[in-house]
Amino acid sequence: MPITKSAKRALRKAEKNRIHNLAIKNQLKKGLKDAYVLIKKKDKNAGKAVSRAVSLFDKAAKKKIISKQRAARIKSRLSKLLSRAKLKPEKREIVKPVIKAKKSPAKKEKAKLKKTTPEKKKAKSNNKSSK
């Protein structure tokens, strides 16, 4: 059992993380099983199931719940099975990146003025000459 305060906190956090990770792993298993079953039945929704499973495995690998290599291996097996069953995978929509609005010229001028004002320059030059 932990003795120090920080060790007790770490134990509580580890327990919460373990429960959270187990929930995600159960989702992975369910998604994988659904995909396998639909591929085996040659259902038309198999592509969607595979796409969902791939997404789940990518997210889990990103959060380091499973290794990247394991995710890649499972995704590869799923896509191979899908192509052998001659079913088409579900295409993902391409999301365009959001472009940030540029600063207006007035805002740029204000920013420049804040950085270097003539008063500050004079004060700096006066300090140098007095030394």
pLDDT tens-digit profile of 83-125? 888 876 666 666 666 666 666 666 667 676 666 655 655 665 6
In a domain, 128, yes or no: no
Interval 30-65: pLDDT, tens? 999 999 999 999 888 888 999 999 999 999 999 999
In a domain, 89, yes or no: no
In a domain, 14, yes or no: yes
In a domain, 113, yes or no: no
Q: pLDDT-derived band of residue 69, with 50, 70 and 90 as boundaries?
A: very high
Q: What CATH number should be reported for the domain holding residue 30?
A: 1.20.58.110
- 15, burial (CB in 10 Å: exposed 0-12, middle 13-18, buried 19+): exposed
Tell me if 46 sits within 8 A of 85, measured CB to CB: yes
In a domain, 94, yes or no: no
E strand or H helix that includes residue 37: helix 5-41
- Residues of the domain holding 53: 5-84
In a domain, 9, yes or no: yes
End-to-end CA distance of the chain: 65
Q: What is the arithmetic mean of pLDDT over 2-22?
A: 95
In a domain, 92, yes or no: no
**Residue 7 pLDDT greater than 90, yes or no:** yes
Tally of structural domains, the chain? 1
pTM: 0.63
In a domain, 115, yes or no: no
